């Protein structure tokens, strides 16, 4: 059998044309090849049209896809608003710093000695730095909020792959002195405590943004333009006075150390405006260095801690009875031999006082005398008085963590509980609530709102007692500070002051302790034209002295004396020689 090639040659040899060779004969119809050719032409035409459409007419899609691969939106941080005291002293400001990050691929070839220097400058263990750089991620944070002088030293190392971005770090010039008033922010510049937290929305501002082009490693290679300008936060002007705050801080710190107490606190209020001029606690902390911060240091005891006020509540019971016309300052009360039963329970005084007038009840701090005054009042009347001045009510101070205290509904009061509450037991409040309530005695019987921010408008007060009753109470509480009262150690040379001591037994495991106390004192200065209400609390003094008259009263005296002079308030008394009894009288609780 002959092959196809041999057949073609034979055909050619016989005079047959090559193109007519039977081997090349097409057995398919011509129309099919034309269809294939048309389909190929149409496909190429469609591709050409699509390319023309994408490249020339509608190029937004491709641009968007490309931009998503190399263009990024970078946030521009806004500067947090500054915080000032009432006189313009800076209490908190934001300083420029930088975060230090690394592109792990680019930094792999860095010499070990440079990495060691980098770890030292960042104050990081070298092992931790190497662990971060060995991460599977292409971009890692090494440290936030690195100060600019350190950044300059890091830049001199010339390490490839480091990325340093601008941010801000909060700085507090007053440190621990102003810590519980101002608070602090976290690494994200978000307020965490005190006014930094309370005024977060106002202080934080509005960050901006800009469009940048980055390479595959995330490095910025071109700045496209600003998308939104950052708007800095608003500055905050507090009511606090740095001078008075420093005086209060040192007074409390020295008292806690002197009386070996667990803690202490003080607050100074402006009688005319309700502004909080000073607020301090001990122990405290340094907001610039919180590496060893503890819960005890963080607690803002003036606002968050509640306690039974003891005898500092007696003036409210007496003032209510005076205001209702049930008694007069000269009304005599028989306190007997220092022991009195009500509701089947004994009420005791530390000393027997016999028959005494209302002023002497306050001066000697008689539990029995106050109890007998409370028996003239209904439980509802007392409860309404307490709630009107803010006891047991949710505070509206505009300060985070403020405690409401506890005043039980009057319908559940037993006879002995009503008696106890008349002299400050069975009821709890914060030191700030107590100081706030005392404004009714320092003013004309009305109470005004407290303000942590500097005010420019005259506050509107709510009348609680009559101006006459308020004046009578000022006379009584001034006698408490005299030689015959329970707060002789609260006297201030050259100034007339008044106030009331309180000693409360701490509740331990549901029972009143016989060895652990909270000593407190609330006072008004000066009495001729009241300017300050000052409240002091000494928590759990462990030395031989533990009453309000022996630990809180002298602390008030030192604080008040320095505050009056610092505020340039002229003396209103010619008495410069203070007479203190050898054995000052102690209050009954």
Among the listed residues 311, 374, 422, 550, the single catalytic one is: 311
Encode burial over 49-82: b for 16+ CB neighbours within 10 A, e otherwise. Answer: eeeeeeeeeeeeeeeeeeeeeeeeeeeebbbbbb
For residues 80 and 97, give the distance between their C-alpha atoms in angstroms, rounded to a whole number: 13
> Please, are residues 94 and 171 in contact by the beta-carbon 8 Å criterion?
yes
- Residue 198: how many CB atoms within 10 A of its CB? 21
Parallel, antiparallel, or unpaired: how do β-strands 71-76 and 208-214 relate?
antiparallel
User: Which residues are CB-contacts of 8 (< 8 A; sequence separation ≥ 6)?
Assistant: 18, 21, 23
Is 528 catalytic? The answer is no
Sign of the C-alpha dihedral computed for residues 136, 140, 142 and 144 taken in this order:
negative
Residues belonging to the chain = 589
For residues 443 and 234, give the distance between their C-alpha atoms in angstroms, rounded to a whole number: 34
Which of 245, 308, 307 minimizes the C-alpha distance to 282? 245
Which of 476, 486, 474 minimizes the C-alpha distance to 528? 474
Determine if residue 164 is left, alpha or beta; phi over 0 gives left, psi from -120 to 50 gives alpha, anything else beta: beta
Which residues does residue 264 pair with via DSSP β-bridges, in sequence order? 282, 538
Which of 122, 144, 132 minimizes the C-alpha distance to 102? 132
Encode burial over 297-328: b for 16+ CB neighbours within 10 A, e otherwise. Answer: bbbbbbbbbbbbbbbbbbbbbbbbbbbeeebe
Which residues does residue 463 pair with via DSSP β-bridges, in sequence order? 446
Sign of the C-alpha dihedral computed for residues 545, 268, 441 and 491 taken in this order:
positive
Determine if residue 539 is left, alpha or beta; phi over 0 gives left, psi from -120 to 50 gives alpha, anything else beta: beta
User: Which residues are CB-contacts of 32 (< 8 A; sequence separation ≥ 6)?
Assistant: none
| DSSP 8-state symbol, 471 | H
Listing DSSP states for 284-308 in one string gives ---TT--TT--HHHH--HHHH-EE-
SS3 386: helix
The catalytic residue positions are: 311
């Amino acid at each position: 059998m002959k092959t196809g090639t041999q057949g073609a040659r034979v055909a050619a040899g016989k005079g047959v044309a090559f193109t007519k060779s039977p081997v090349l004969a097409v057995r398919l119809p011509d129309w099919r090849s034309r269809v294939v050719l048309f389909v190929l032409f149409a496909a190429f035409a469609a591709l050409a049209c699509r390319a023309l459409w994408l490249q020339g007419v509608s190029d937004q899609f491709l641009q968007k896809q490309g931009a998503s691969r190399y263009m990024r939106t970078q946030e521009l941080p806004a500067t947090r608003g500054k915080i000032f005291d009432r006189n313009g002293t800076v209490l908190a400001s934001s300083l420029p710093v930088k975060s230090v990050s690394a592109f792990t691929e680019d930094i792999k070839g860095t010499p070990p000695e440079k990495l060691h220097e980098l770890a030292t400058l960042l104050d990081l263990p070298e092992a931790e730095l190497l662990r971060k750089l060995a991460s599977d991620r292409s971009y890692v944070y090494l440290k936030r909020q690195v100060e600019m002088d350190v950044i300059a030293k890091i830049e001199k190392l010339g390490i490839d792959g480091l990325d340093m971005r601008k941010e801000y770090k909060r700085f507090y010039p007053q440190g621990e002195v102003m810590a519980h008033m101002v608070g602090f922010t976290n690494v994200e510049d978000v307020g965490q405590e005190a006014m930094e937290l309370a005024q977060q929305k106002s202080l934080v501002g509005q960050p901006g943004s800009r469009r940048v082009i980055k390479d595959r490693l995330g490095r910025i290679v071109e700045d496209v333009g600003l998308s939104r300008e950052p708007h800095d936060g608003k500055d905050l002007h507090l009511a606090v006075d740095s001078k008075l705050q420093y005086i209060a801080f040192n007074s409390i710190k020295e008292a806690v150390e002197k009386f070996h107490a667990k803690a202490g606190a003080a607050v100074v209020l402006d009688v005319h405006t309700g502004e909080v001029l000073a607020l301090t606690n001990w122990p405290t902390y340094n907001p610039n260095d919180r590496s060893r911060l503890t819960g005890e240091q963080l607690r803002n005891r003036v606002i968050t801690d509640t306690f039974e006020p003891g005898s500092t509540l007696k003036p409210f019971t007496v003032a209510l009875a005076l205001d209702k016309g049930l008694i007069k300052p000269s009304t005599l009360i028989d306190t007997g031999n220092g022991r009195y039963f009500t509701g089947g329970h004994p009420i005791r005084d530390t000393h027997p006082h016999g028959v005494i007038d209302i002023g002497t009840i306050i001066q000697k701090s008689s539990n029995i005398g106050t109890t007998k005054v409370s028996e003239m009042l209904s439980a509802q009347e007392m409860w309404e008085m307490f709630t009107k001045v803010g006891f047991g009510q949710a505070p509206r101070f505009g300060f985070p963590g403020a405690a409401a205290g506890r005043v039980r509904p009057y319908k559940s009061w037993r006879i002995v509980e009503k008696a106890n509450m008349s002299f400050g037991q069975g009821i709890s409040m914060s030191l700030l609530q107590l100081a706030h309530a005392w404004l009714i005695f320092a003013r004309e019987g009305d109470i005004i709102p407290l303000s942590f921010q500097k005010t420019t408008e005259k506050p509107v007060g709510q009348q609680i007692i009559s101006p006459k009753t308020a004046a009578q109470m000022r006379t009584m509480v001034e006698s408490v500070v005299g030689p015959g009262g329970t707060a002789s150690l609260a006297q201030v040379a050259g100034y007339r002051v008044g106030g009331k001591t309180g000693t409360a037994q701490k509740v331990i495991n549901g029972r009143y302790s016989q060895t652990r106390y909270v000593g407190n004192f609330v006072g008004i200065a000066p009495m001729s034209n009241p300017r300050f209400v000052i409240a002091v609390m000494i928590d759990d003094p462990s030395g031989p002295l533990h009453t309000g008259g022996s630990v809180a009263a002298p602390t008030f005296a030192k604080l008040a004396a320095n505050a009056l002079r610092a505020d340039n308030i002229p003396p209103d008394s010619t008495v410069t020689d203070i007479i203190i009894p050898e054995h000052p009288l102690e209050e009954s609780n």
